[in-house]
């Protein structure tokens, strides 16, 4: 539903986006990650037709965003960063205005506005001016304007930024529900959000794409993938030494007097071997489990070079 081919954007001397290519299918919720200044917003602006690329091409549901701009934009809903709206308008006035811009008139316009307000839990504030709303509500007005024409493709720039945990939960549930029917791209700095709602992840650093996979595959690249966390009810002096001697164990880290983290060679499953040793030695096990891996550590590793270059 979205095809991005060798996209580049240059702002004078700044090469903000470099040869970025990827596809998004129906049912995908794609998390777009990257450090500050990595090029996420710029890429999203090019996908939505808001900014022309220096080179490369974007097609949305078969429409080239540059040459068939209106057709492409009619199937896209876009929630830009900080959900810009017109503060002096009431919620209803603003959504009515957006409905007209989208070509709806009369009863159809009113029906769309009512439906989208209900969907975004805005009906009770419809007569309030937007500037008097809290940030969470303003963000939901932004989401409502992006959804009003029932787009097949939804692009959202940090949709839960600055929201409290309850509001975040509401917006994440809405995204998960919509994800079944649409192709969604959302940018975020919140890695737990990616794990909670995204089916795919793209990481961009210094304008370049450095990862394109599922959250589970990314976690498999973590140094912690299949690391074993062993906690004993009483310490055993030579436990670390004996574990270190096991096949496919690279390192044993002492967390505290009772707990060890055991790192495997290349993500190998070492849990059964550690468990067998612990049982044979009659160590008093309080808990033992293998870790899945950590997205934050993979993210830091994949983006570290670019971050260092930027700092220099
Ligand atoms: P953040 O996570 O902080 O929102 P981002 O990944 O969205 O960052 P972009 O906003 O896309 O990053 O910016 C990428 C680079 O392009 C940055 O170096 C930024 O300063 C530069 N940039 C973006 N827009 C413009 C512009 N209109 N003119 C000049 N430079 C720009």
Pairing of strands 208-213, 55-60: unpaired
Tokens 């808990």 belong to which residue?
287
Predicted confidence at residue 312, as pLDDT, reads 56
Question: For position 311, what pLDDT does the model report?
Answer: 58
Contact (CB, 8 A) for 306 and 38? yes
Is residue 55 within 8 A of residue 6, CB to CB? The reply is yes
Who contacts 292 (Cβ-Cβ below 8 Å, separation ≥6)? 216, 219, 222, 224, 225
Residues 6 or more apart from 20 whose CB is under 8 A from it?
4, 6, 7, 8, 39, 43, 56, 204, 207, 208, 209
Element (H, E) at 177: helix 165-179
How far out from the chain centre does Cα 15 lie? 23
Predicted pLDDT at 82: 78
What atom in ligand 1 is closest to the CA of residue 158?
4
* Binding site membership of 42 for ligand 1 (Cβ less than 6 Å): yes
206 in contact with ligand 1, CB cutoff 6 A: no
Q: Is 49 touching ligand 1 by the criterion CB < 6 Å?
A: no
Atom of ligand 1 nearest to the CA of 204: 6
Task: Work out which ligand 1 atom sits closest to the CA atom of 207.
Answer: 14
User: At CA 208, angle to CA 204 and CA 213, rounded to 5?
Assistant: 50
Integer Cα distance of 66 and 59 in angstroms: 9
Residue with tokens 């009113």: 110
Question: How much is the pLDDT for 16?
Answer: 95
Q: Which residues of 194-208 are buried (b: 16+ CB within 10 A; e: fewer)?
A: bbbbbbbbbbbbbbb
Q: Are 277 and 242 in contact (CB under 8 A)?
A: yes
Q: What does the pLDDT read at residue 291?
A: 94
Confidence at residue 203, expressed as pLDDT on a 0 to 100 scale: 95
Q: For the stretch 3-13, what's the b/e string if a residue is b when 16 or more beta carbons lie within 10 angstroms of its beta carbon?
A: bbeebbbeeee
Nearest Cα neighbor of 158 from 41, 4, 11, 304 is: 41
Q: Using CA positions, which residue lies closest to atom 29 of ligand 1?
A: 11
Query: Which pLDDT score, from 0 to 100, does residue 308 have?
Result: 63
List, in order, residues 6 or more apart from 202 with CB less than 8 Å away.
22, 30, 31, 32, 33, 209, 211, 212
Enumerate residue ranges in the chain where pLDDT < 50: none
| Confidence (pLDDT) at 149 | 95
Minimal-distance CA residue to ligand 1 atom 24:
42
Give the nearest ligand 1 atom to 12 CA. 29
């Amino acid at each position: 539903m979205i095809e991005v081919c060798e996209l580049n954007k240059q702002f004078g001397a700044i090469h903000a986006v470099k040869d970025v290519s990827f596809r998004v299918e129906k049912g995908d919720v794609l998390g777009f990650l990257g450090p500050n200044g990595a090029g996420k917003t710029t890429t999203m602006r090019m996908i939505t037709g808001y900014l022309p690329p220096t080179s490369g091409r974007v097609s949305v549901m078969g429409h080239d965003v540059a040459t068939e701009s209106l057709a492409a934009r009619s199937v896209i809903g876009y929630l830009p960063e900080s959900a810009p709206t017109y503060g002096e308008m009431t919620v209803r006035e603003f959504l009515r205005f957006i409905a007209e811009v989208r070509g709806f008139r009369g009863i159809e316009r009113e029906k769309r506005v009512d439906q989208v307000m209900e969907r975004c839990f805005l009906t009770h504030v419809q007569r309030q001016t937007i500037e008097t709303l809290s940030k969470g509500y303003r963000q939901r007005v932004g989401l409502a304007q992006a959804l009003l024409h029932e787009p097949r493709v939804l692009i959202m720039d940090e949709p839960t930024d600055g929201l409290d945990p309850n509001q975040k939960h509401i917006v994440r549930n809405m995204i998960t529900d919509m994800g079944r029917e649409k192709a969604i791209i959302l940018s975020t700095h919140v890695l737990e959000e990616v794990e909670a709602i995204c089916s795919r992840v793209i990481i961009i650093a210094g304008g370049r794409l450095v990862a394109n996979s599922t959250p589970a595959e990314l976690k498999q690249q973590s140094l912690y993938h299949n690391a074993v966390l062993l906690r004993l009810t009483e310490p055993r002096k030579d436990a670390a030494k004996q574990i270190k001697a096991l096949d496919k164990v690279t390192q044993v880290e002492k967390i505290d007097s009772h707990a060890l983290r055991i790192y495997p060679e290349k993500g190998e499953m070492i849990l059964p071997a550690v468990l067998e040793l612990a049982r044979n030695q009659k160590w008093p096990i309080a808990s033992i489990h293998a870790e899945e891996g950590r997205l934050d550590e993979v993210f830091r590793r994949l983006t570290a070079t670019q971050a260092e270059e930027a700092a220099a």
